[in-house]
Amino acid sequence: MRPATHSGRLAGRTEAPAHLALQTGVSLLEVLITMVVAALALLGIMGLQLSTVKFQAQASHTTLATEQARAIMERMRSNNVAFRPGAASAATPAYIGAVGYATAAAGAAPAVNCRTAPNPCTPAQLAAFDVSEWRANLADALPGGRGVVLPHPLTGTAEPGARTVVVMWRNVNNVGAGSAAGGVVADAADPGCPEAAPLAGIRCLTFTFQP
C-alpha cells in the first residue's frame, strides 16, 4: 500500500500577495483619517450651535430690556409732574435712584399699592409704585434683571426733566464643566454700565428720556 500523501493539498495553499496586505493597511488608514475629519467637523458644528444659542439669548435679552425701558418711560410720561424738578426734594427727585447694580434690586413693596389703594395716589406715591413694579418685572423678565432711573447727563448740570434709564442683567456664558467656576464663566465688565467700576458679567442698556 502506498502511503497517503498531502502534497496536493499543501501545494494548493498560497500566502496572500504583498500588494493585498498593503491595500488593507491603506484602507484602515483611510478609515481612521475619515473618522478624525468627521469628529473635527462635528466639534465645529457643535461650537457653531453653541454660538448661535448664545447670540439668540443675547438678542432676546436685549429685546426684553428695551421693552422694559419703554415701559418705565411710558409711566414717567404719564406721571410727568412727579419726575420734573420741584416735584420732590432737589436731592432725590421722584423716580431717581442710586447708581449701581447692587442698589437697583426690586426691594420691598412700596408703602402704597396704587392698584388697590382706595384713594388716588399722589404723583410721588405713584412714582414709588412705578419703580417698584418695574423692578419686579425686570427681575422676572431677565436673569438678574434690575433697573435704575438717573439724571441726564450723569455728570455736570442735569437737564430739567431729562432722565437716563438703565436696564441691567446678568450675561453669563456656559463654557464647559472643566472651568474653574464649575462650568460657568462671566463675561467681561460692560463699559456701558454707569458704575465707576462695572461688575463683570453685568450687561447694561442705557436710554435717554425726555417727554
The three three-digit cell numbers of residue 165, written as one number:
434709564
Q: What's the confidence (pLDDT) of residue 82?
A: 63
Question: Is pLDDT of 18 > 80?
Answer: no
User: Which 3-state string (H, E, C) describes the chain?
Assistant: CCCCCCHHHHHHCCCCCHHHHHHHHHHHHHHHHHHHHHHHHHHHHHHHHHHHHHHHHHHHHHHHHHHHHHHHHHHHHHCHHHHCCCCCCCCCCCCECCCCCHHHCCCCCCCCCCCCCCCCCCHHHHHHHHHHHHHHHHHHHCCCCEEEEEECCCCCCCCCCCEEEEEEEECEEECCCCCCCCCEEECCECCCCCCCCCCECEEEEEEEECC
- Please say if the pLDDT value at position 199 is more than 70: yes
The reported pLDDT for the residue numbered 64 is 94
Of the pLDDT bands very low, low, confident and very high (cuts 50, 70, 90), residue 148 is very high
Q: What is the rounded average pLDDT of the residues 156-178?
A: 72
pLDDT at 200: 87
Q: What is the mean pLDDT of residues 22-34?
A: 70
Backbone φ, ψ for residue 186 (5° rounding): -75, 150
pTM of the model: 0.68
Least confident of 86-90, 160-164, 192-196: 86-90
Query: Average pLDDT for residues 145-167, to the nearest whole number?
Result: 84
Question: For 68-127, how does the pLDDT look when each residue is reduced to its tens digit (9 = 90+)?
Answer: 999 999 999 888 776 555 544 444 577 888 888 988 888 888 889 998 989 899 888 999
**Between these two residues, 73 and 175, which has the higher pLDDT value?**
73
